Amino acid sequence: MNPPLILVLCTGNSCRSHLAEGILRAALHGELCAASAGSKPAGYVHPLAITVMAEIGIDISQHHSKHLDEFLNQNVETVITVCGNADQACPMFPGQVNRHHWGFDDPAHATGSDEEKLAVFRRVRDEIRRVFEAYAAGRLDGLRQPSVRS
């Protein structure tokens, strides 16, 4: 049986959701599954998202932009939205147990020089990393605790 799926949603599925998916996959060590999707997929993963993830040793270069409908028939246990638009557009998935919304700035809207844009991508990556690594640690702790019976 496949482990439960944690689905990270964003509108375009080009930046924030892929940053979160990559970080979550690395932090979960395969004990739970993580994927990402969008309500209006952009059709690509932003090159700077790939760059800043490579800087921390996580390869998302093979990720691709997906529509959330691709997951409607899967065992989605948790949905985490990382932008307000996705939070509003998010459907309920069959069997879904948990739902969280943690909003982050969209680094794709960064302006300025290449270095200034990279700085925004790094900041958002680091913010996402703090939240999602803590979430993953809590989930893994929960899996390792013996169930309490009354």
Instruction: Exactly one of 23, 76, 83, 86 is catalytic; name it.
Output: 83
Instruction: Exactly one of 10, 28, 58, 110 is catalytic; name it.
Output: 10
Instruction: Exactly one of 35, 90, 128, 131 is catalytic; name it.
Output: 90
CA distances from 112 to 1, 29, 106 (A): 48, 36, 15
Phi first, then psi, for residue 16 (nearest 5°) are -55, -45
Residue type, 20: A
CA 140 to chain centre: 17
Please indicate whether residue 90 is annotated as part of the active site.
yes
CA distance 128 to 36: 14
Please indicate whether residue 15 is annotated as part of the active site.
no
Active site residues: 10, 83, 90
